[in-house]
Amino acid sequence: MHAFFALLKKIIRTGIGKGRFIMASLGLGIAMVLILIALQANSDFNQLLYSDKNQNETADFLVINKKVTNSMMGQPQKMVLSQEEIDNIRRQPFVQASGLITSSRFKVVAQAPGELHFATDMFFESVPDSFIDVKEEEWKWEPGSRIIPIILPNDFLNLYNFGFSLSQDLPQISQETVKALPLQIVISNGLISETYTGHIVGFSDRISSFLVPASFMDWANEKYGMAGTTSTASRIVIKTADPSNPALVKFLDDNGYTTNQDKLKFSKTRVIVQTIVSVIGFFGLVLLFFALLVFSMFIQLIIASCKKEIQLLVTLGTAPRQLQRYLLKQFIPLYIIIGVVSLLIVVVLQYQAHVVLAKHDMAVSPLPAIWTFAGAAVVISLVYIVNLVTVRKYILQDQ
Amino acid sequence: MQIQLDQLLPVPLKDKILQRKSGIWNENIVFNPGSFVKIKAPSGTGKTTLVHYLYNIRNDYTGKVLVNGKPWSDYGRNEIALLRQQQISVIFQDLRLFEQLTALENIELKRVMTPQPYCTPERVQEMAARLNVTHVLRQSSKTLSYGERQRIAIIRALVQPFDWLLMDEPFSHLDEENTRRAAALIAEECSARKAGFILTDLDDDQHFDYNVLYQL
């Protein structure tokens, strides 16, 4: 077959329009690199977001409530989440679990013991126990018990230690001390007033509120609940795998909800990165399309310019299959070289990204993802198929 | 391999042919394997057309050309190519050499078209020597005389295996001596393959011991 192909080379000149062919090859190379970079960047970004190396918690908790606007002020019923709205939130695919935050319908006054002379009006809220990550034995309350377990927001202690205590010349308190301090909690509804002992069991970044066990809240609301107060929820806590999910952010915006913006900050970055990656990928695809078009036209040109020769070859007994193999053999090795070179470029870029990001404590793998290799294989296959189809079509057309 | 004509009639020559008696057109004819067939035909009676029909590069006819009992139209492109590589060889009246190749390359093209060449390169040299064209083998076929080209086309047709050799006025531009040599070589090669041939020409001739004679 080799000797035959060597003779075919003298008959079917593939040299015509070489300039165009080189340009198209270059285009294919650039298209390939762009597509592979887009695939790789996507994979890297996912790795940064979700890989165990880059984050400690696999799920995150968000407290969602309606945005308070000027027009809503003084109309507490507008803050309330209706059952329909709650169901809608629960239906969203990014919500893994959800729990209503129940607020107290009684007055609470907390007093520090002994010499501290500290008393404050406050409130309680509760969430289902599954949203609390404090050890179970500490986080329970049974009717009759005078001790109420309480979780404080971390920010609260910080505000006291760094804001309040310094300005008032009061001592600073460590978390351990707070946990050891028994607080005097006075619960009243205007008619009855009872004193309990509050026991701080933990601090939370998750839910910025004064939390008590749900069992206590239900019991206390029943017992001390003031007439005229509603038991409807205005805040809901959800568990989500990915707080930077743009779908989540969009859902919140669309419905006028708000949450801890800090947790969503990744989302903006992610949207920007995704847009850039998509644009790169899109340009890659457009370029690939044009490269394919030029290749296809180039093959057409060769076959058209050798029409007579191809006819005579077939007359003499050359199988269309042989011609097809010969023509593909002229181009395919080049495509494979382009593919390999593009992959090598991406391998080098990825390694550099790995080194640079490692300095910032961000881990991405030093080698391109399997998807990138698969992408290269797909692009090469696509080019091969387009070539094969073109050659087949035009070789057969001439006969 | 059997070739059979079934009421074959070229569409462009139809009226002309039906006005007179023909031994081939519109008849049922069987060419038996291994037979040397001569078809004598005056100009304009469709000699070349017949060869083209037999070789399946034209199909503007009514009736059928059956190869191994199957009409040409039933063969696929790759099947036809295989037949042309293994079972049917041809010498065209207009020779059809590639001008961009040398004489030897034209022969080689046909020789190496099959993965396992039938002839050795030495055999090609021997045949070239017998037909007195050794000295032109390295020349571009463009620069050869018609007679030299004709002999190259004959050698090209003989480097492949075949059951039938189709020849369209193969000696038209050869002198008597060269015709004799070429005919002897063709007869030898046909016998070696137990192959037959179909030769069309204008006049009677004594180049071969023909088994069958037809008047077109």
Whether residue A11 and residue B101 make contact (CB cut-off 8 A), yes or no, is yes
Smallest CA-to-CA distance from A324 within B56, B162, B81, B72 is with B81
Q: Which residues of B touch A5 (CB under 8 A)?
A: none
Find the range with the poorest average confidence among A124-133, B79-88, B130-139, B186-195.
Answer: A124-133
Partnered with residue B183 across adjacent β-strands are: none
Q: Which structural domains are found in chain B, ordered by start?
A: 3-215 (3.40.50.300)
User: Who's near A120: CB < 8 A, 6+ residues apart?
Assistant: A109, A110
CB atoms within 10 A of CB A190: 10
Nearest Cα of chain B lies from the Cα of A345 at a distance, in angstroms, of 40
- Edge-first strand order for the sheet with A97-103 is A125-126, A97-103, A235-240, A60-66, A257-258
Contacts with A, B 113-152, CB within 8 Å: 113, 115
Whether residue A317 and residue B57 make contact (CB cut-off 8 A), yes or no, is no
Q: Which residues of B touch A321 (CB under 8 A)?
A: 78, 81
Which uninterrupted H or E stretch holds A193?
strand A193-204
Q: Which residues of B touch A319 (CB under 8 A)?
A: 77-78, 81-82, 85
Interface test with B, best of A7, A306, A325 (most B CBs within 10 A): A7
Q: Is A3 on the interface with B (CB under 8 A)?
A: yes
Percent of chain A predicted with pLDDT > 70? 91
Q: What are the contacts of A109-116 at 24+ separation with CB within 8 A?
A: A109/A185, A109/A186, A109/A188, A110/A183, A110/A184, A110/A185, A110/A186, A110/A198, A111/A183, A111/A184, A111/A185, A111/A186, A112/A181, A112/A183, A112/A184, A113/A181, A113/A182, A113/A183, A113/A184, A116/A170
Whether residue A320 and residue B57 make contact (CB cut-off 8 A), yes or no, is no
Amino acid at the residue A251 = F
Q: Is A11 on the interface with B (CB under 8 A)?
A: yes
How many C-alpha atoms does A67 have within 13 Å on its Cβ side?
11
**DSSP string for residues in A127-189:** --GGG--S-TTTS---TT--EEEEEEEHHHHHIIIIIIHHHHTPPP--HHHHHHSEEEEEEE-
Number of A/B CB contacts below 8 angstroms equals 56
Report the pLDDT value the prediction gives residue A230, as an integer from 0 to 100: 62
Please answer whether residues A201 and A151 qualify as being in contact, where contact means their C-beta atoms are separated by less than 8 angstroms: yes
Q: Is B161 on the interface with A (CB under 8 A)?
A: no
Q: Is A16 on the interface with B (CB under 8 A)?
A: no
Please answer whether residues A363 and A357 qualify as being in contact, where contact means their C-beta atoms are separated by less than 8 angstroms: yes
Q: Which of B77, B84, B110 sits opposite A320 (nearest CB)?
A: B77
Pick the more confident residue, A299 or B177: B177
The CA-based dihedral angle spanning residues B175, B179, B180, B183, taken in that order and rounded to the nearest 10 degrees:
180
Report the pLDDT value the prediction gives residue A56, as an integer from 0 to 100: 47
Q: Which residues of B touch A317 (CB under 8 A)?
A: 81-85, 110, 113, 160
Contacts with A, B 39-58, CB within 8 Å: 55, 57
Under DSSP, is residue B149 helix (H, G, I), strand (E, B) or coil?
helix
Q: Is A72 on the interface with B (CB under 8 A)?
A: no
ipTM above 0.85, yes or no: yes
Q: At A330, phi and psi to the nearest 5?
A: -70, -25
A131-172 residue pLDDT tens: 776 666 778 888 888 888 888 888 888 888 888 888 888 788
CA-CA distances (angstroms) from residue A203 to A97, A134, A172, A177, A348?
22, 9, 16, 12, 46
Pick the more confident residue, A269 or B163: B163
Lookup: tokens for B57: 């590069």
**A18-50 and A265-305 are packed helices; what angle lies between their axes, rounded to 10 degrees?**
160
Residues in chain A, overall count: 399
Residues in chain B, overall count: 216
Q: Which of A1, A10, A318 sits opposite B100 (nearest CB)?
A: A10
Nearest Cα of chain B lies from the Cα of A309 at a distance, in angstroms, of 8
Nearest Cα of chain B lies from the Cα of A383 at a distance, in angstroms, of 25
pLDDT along chain A (399 residues), means of 10: 87 78 86 90 80 56 81 74 83 84 85 74 84 72 86 83 82 82 84 86 80 86 74 78 79 83 71 85 89 86 88 92 90 90 93 89 84 91 92 77
B179-214 residue pLDDT tens: 999 999 999 999 999 999 999 999 888 899 999 999
Q: Which residues of B touch A3 (CB under 8 A)?
A: 108, 112
Report the pLDDT value the prediction gives residue A59, as an integer from 0 to 100: 62
Q: Which of A1, A312, A399 sits opposite B115 (nearest CB)?
A: A1
